[in-house]
A and B are shown apart, each in its own frame.
Chain A
Amino acid sequence: MRKNVIQLLARQLWQDAFRSKVMLIASALMLCLLLFSAYSGWENYHDQNFTRDEIQDEVEESWENNPDKHPHRMAHYGSFALRLKHVLSVFDMGMENFVGNAVFLEAHKQNTVNFSEASMSTGLLRFGEVSLAMLLKVIVPLLIFYLGFGTIARERENGTLKLLIGQGITRKEIVFGKWLGLWSLSLVFLGAIFLVLLLFVLVESHDSMHTDSLLRYVVLLVAYLLFFGILSAITILVSAFSATAKGALVKLLGIWLLFVIIVPKSLQAMGFYLYPTPSKIEMETAVEHDLAEIGDSHDPNDPHFKAMKDSVLRVHNVENVEDLPFNYGGFVMSQGEAMSTKIYLKHQEDLYEVYGKQNNLERYSAFINPYTAIKNLSMAFSGTDFQSFLHFKDEAETYRFKLAQDMNQLQMDLIPNKGKEGPNTISSDYWKEFPPFEYHFLSISDVFKNELISLLALVLWGGLAILGLLRLSTNLKAI
């Protein structure tokens, strides 16, 4: 393969593209969309994070300002965890608007994460959202197909393909020249979007976050580079194997529809169909049932709690709970909290396992649909996938559990047993000491682990694309 010939062919594709109206209209449209989505993404990110930050601080302040009181009142006073957006959510909104944003953390109870944007939106949300990533995932692939459907088919129709070969240009050079031309053309859009994104990443990330955000940024960039390379190869292949340019266009449009809309949506629906999930009320009933199996703390004669009491009394060698060196109420509460949390989490894990099964159908389809691979990678590295949400939820639940148990511990240590001398409240200094909720994003190595399948699929597709092009280089039909 001669480098200059390939460059020449690629350049020719650029010239053809810029001469046609498609590229002109598309570029103008893309520019408008880019500006709009960058602006609205940034606004949304900023306003939302600002509000959530502010409320998180407010929550902390009101927590600290509580007067002296019984620690169990503070366990009920509880706290809130507000979900923060990763700076890369400006790029890909992913599930951002479909998961809740705030959760009330209190003793004895796991609340749902409420107030998702979706729950406050009109039905329009179902058409999707415009984000920088959406342009790269949905619109640019369509543009690649538009710009490339004729590359080989039309040249053959016009008879110029025969001429090229006649002039001593090898088939390999034609195939790779066209491919590189198309790919590099798509990188114009990629470059513009990633340039804007780089700005956001640099402006927003502070010290510790910097490397993490940049690393995520680089992975995204590489993934999209690869994705566009694959799409360009598909375009060239379809164009080469179609009798007419029109045929190639229709086929490519069909592929786009299948990849972007029909396959992901039907597989998601199928997953839901195959693995039904219980409703909240059903799960709550199941949790209550399991709790009742172990014991009922309300019932003074319940065997579980009676046995617990007896053993505690035996260990401390006393007759009555009043004589224990710690507050027995706090002890029962902390045991109950540990028990109910364990049961709840077990049920929740089962539920998420079903979600996992539902989603895997689509996830594994990445091997037949490169779009799925990029979709999942893009969300995950932008911190807007389901795993990122689960991570937030886990951190919130961990904090809730610690809050409840620390308050129980304070009660055990500092509140005297019934009938004993001593104050029924403790100093408000204890509230001030309790650290506020702080969210840390999923580490990048975890994201890699979560998205192994998508990465693998994308690399495989890359290999397949090169293989396809090489094969085409040997049996490209000139007429």
Chain B
Amino acid sequence: MYSLLFKSFFRTKIFLVSLVLLLTVGVISILIGKQYLVKQEKTIAAAQVFQEESIKKNVDYHSEDLGLLLYYLRFTLIKKPQNINAISIGQSDVNPLLQAVTIRGLEAQKYDTDFENPSLLMSGNLDLGFVIIYLFPLVLIAMTFNLYSEEKELGTWRILAAQTSGKAKFLFKKLLVRILFVFAVLIFLMFLASAMLQIPMNANFWAIFIQSVLYVMFWSALCFWMVTLLKNSSFNALALISIWVVLTILIPALVNNYVINAYQVPEALDAMVEQRDGYHEKWDLEKDATMTEFIKAYPQYKNYPVPEDEFSWIWYYGMQFMGDFAAKETSAEMTEKIMLRNTASEKIALFVPTMHSQLSFNSLAGTDMLSHLDFLKSLTEFHKNLREGFYTKIFDHKSANAVDWKKHEAKFYEQDYSFSWLKLLLPTLLITFIIGILAGLNLRKL
């Protein structure tokens, strides 16, 4: 029975079209992921060379004055990319994977972006995640929308009904053949991606894998349910494509609009201005205005002299510190707002499998908003350590020789890839289950 069903399926035009479409676009998406990784690697290599050379050059020029030298020097923190990023590029094209910062005020440097073509950002990356979320359901729809109706419309259903013992079973088997084919392609593409992009088969890879399988199951159940309504072909096509449009375009976009409007982030702009003013106004104030606060944060420097009529590095870096200090609260509020956006999106996504898949792909691949916020947090820490490491030497008027520059190569930030299986799998599983039951109930009426 199955071999016959497979044979008849393989003879259909839609089978060939789907196979070619999924494989070509799938391979292209993997290549795009590959290119993305190559670009990242190139950028990182360039940043490492840049830092080393700029330290060497500047140390030559300003060896006598460490304060001036550190005015120029930039230190890089790199969000170490993992190959799994390439499956779901997510937000990592908007948010840079590395930041090169001086020990001056951080707030003005923290949000500097890399160059990206906004047209490309707008149309989004054609990564494997996109192929799974958008194209796989379409192929499923194309293969199953007339599963029953075609037989009915061609008049073959009566003959079939007379010849087979279980009509429902027959329909189910026909569907199974198509679903199995889609799964075969999906699994093939996943392993191909793993091989071509050299993604280790760790928990995150399997999580994306299983989430994809569940996601395709969800669509299979949905298509099956539509078939069991026993409507005509045009209705099925229309209804399924409408559902697809609603789930992959309308609802996520509506939610996005809602979230952006509900949690606006004027704090971002405020913090930027506060930081500048917090630093610059100190030039025109008594030096005490700077030093009191600075000493409060760093009491160990309270005995350093700050001459009133003369420039001194402790005062200068104190002012820089004050810039960040002035923007601290607003900046924290901004982060808070972004977190709220994320939480709201995630909560709504629990009920919408397309959104849930996209968000969980991103978070499993380490390309979501939260991982970027985490990177920024660790950049703040990195900046703090740098400053504190240099402060004493600068304030003691040490020369550049006092620093072991070899230790200051570009640093890597290790990303946290942990996740919860339950939160990942349960939503899609439940929804699929419910739709499956509804379809099963309909089938009994056949």
Contacts and interface: CB of A to CB of B under 8 A. Distances in A.
A122 B345 contact: yes
Interface string A246-262: 10011001000100011
A280 B115 contact: yes
A359 B117 contact: yes
A44 B32 contact: no
Contact of B345 (A22, A36, A73, A124): A124
A151 B87 CA distance: 43
Interface string A442-461: 00000000000000000000
A389 B118 contact: yes
Interface stretch (B106-114, B180-188, B429-437): B106-114
B123 A264 contact: yes
Given A279-B46, A279-B114, A386-B118, A69 B254 contact: no
B17 to A, nearest CB: 9
B100 interface: yes
A298 to B, nearest CB: 5
Nearest to A275: B117
Nearest to A21: B235
B156 interface: no
B237 A249 contact: yes
A80 B273 contact: yes
Contacts of A112: 112-113, 115
Nearest to A268: B123
Contacts of B214: none
B50 to A, nearest CB: 5
A134 B334 CA distance: 29
Given A122-B345, A127-B252, A280 B269 contact: no
Nearest to A278: B115
A280 B74 CA distance: 14
A98 B122 CA distance: 6
Nearest to A55: B269
A386 B237 contact: no
Nearest to B252: A127
Nearest to A266: B126
Nearest to B141: A253
A273 B32 contact: yes
A279 B261 contact: no
A268 B362 contact: no
A282 interface: yes
Interface string B341-385: 110011001000011001100100001110000000000000000
Size bracket of the A interface: 35 or more
B446 interface: no
Contacts of B354: 127
Given A115-B111, A126-B124, A284 B50 contact: yes
B256 A359 contact: no
A51 B269 contact: yes
A300 to B, nearest CB: 11
A37 B257 contact: yes
A398 interface: no
B289 interface: no
B118 A98 contact: yes
Contact of B358 (A22, A127, A298): A127
B115 A351 contact: yes
B250 A130 contact: yes
Nearest to A100: B113
Interface stretch (A58-66, A318-326, A463-471): A58-66
Given A116-B94, A124-B358, A129 B269 contact: no
Interface in A275-323: 276-285, 288, 298-299
A271 B123 CA distance: 12
A208 interface: no
B261 A281 contact: no
Given A52-B269, A138-B249, A104 B32 contact: no
Nearest to B123: A268
B392 interface: no
A55 B270 contact: yes
B419 to A, nearest CB: 15
Interface in A138-197: 138-139, 142, 146, 149-150
B31 A273 contact: yes
A114 B111 contact: yes
Interface residues of B, number: 91
A269 interface: yes
A47 B264 contact: yes
B114 A66 contact: no
Given A119-B95, A123-B359, A358-B120, A273 B253 contact: no
B338 A246 contact: no
A288 B362 CA distance: 36
B2 interface: no
A212 interface: no
A130 B254 CA distance: 6
A82 B153 CA distance: 61
B423 interface: no
B256 A298 contact: no
User: Which of the listed residues B124, B258, B354 has the most CB atoms from chain A within 10 Å of its own CB?
Assistant: B124
B273 A59 contact: yes
B265 A22 contact: no
Given A51-B266, A115-B111, A299-B61, A124 B259 contact: yes
Contacts of B258: 40
Nearest to B150: A246
Nearest to B24: A266
Interface string A93-136: 01101111110100000011111111111111111111000100
Interface string B231-269: 001100110010001001110111111111100111011
A130 B253 CA distance: 6
Contacts of A82: 269
Contacts of B264: 47-48, 51
A418 B153 CA distance: 96
Interface stretch (B162-170, B201-209, B277-285, B397-405): B277-285
Contact of A362 (B119, B270, B338): B119
B77 interface: no
Interface string B21-62: 000010010011001000100110011011000100000010
A355 interface: yes
Nearest to B48: A281
Interface string B276-301: 11001001100000000000000000
B121 A111 contact: no
Contacts of B108: 104
Contacts of A130: 250, 253-254, 256-257
A117 B260 contact: yes
A94 B54 CA distance: 39
Nearest to B248: A127
A245 interface: yes
Nearest to A379: B122
Contacts of A114: 111-113, 272
A51 B32 CA distance: 38
B147 interface: no
A268 B237 contact: no
Nearest to B100: A281
A33 B251 CA distance: 11
B43 A279 contact: yes
A127 B249 contact: yes
Given A123-B359, A266-B28, A272 B117 contact: yes
Given A40-B261, A69-B284, A128-B249, A118 B61 contact: no
A210 interface: no
Report the 6 A-B pairs with minimum CB-CB distance, sorted nearest first.
A127-B252, A279-B43, A124-B256, A269-B126, A268-B123, A51-B266
Given A47-B261, A280-B113, 18 more contacts: A37-B257, A76-B280, A80-B273, A114-B112, A115-B265, A121-B91, A122-B342, A122-B369, A124-B255, A124-B358, A125-B256, A128-B256, A146-B238, A249-B234, A265-B126, A272-B117, A281-B47, A358-B117
22 contacts: A33-B250, A36-B254, A44-B260, A77-B276, A101-B269, A118-B121, A124-B255, A124-B256, A138-B245, A142-B241, A246-B233, A249-B234, A265-B130, A269-B120, A279-B43, A279-B114, A279-B115, A281-B43, A281-B50, A281-B98, A359-B117, A386-B119
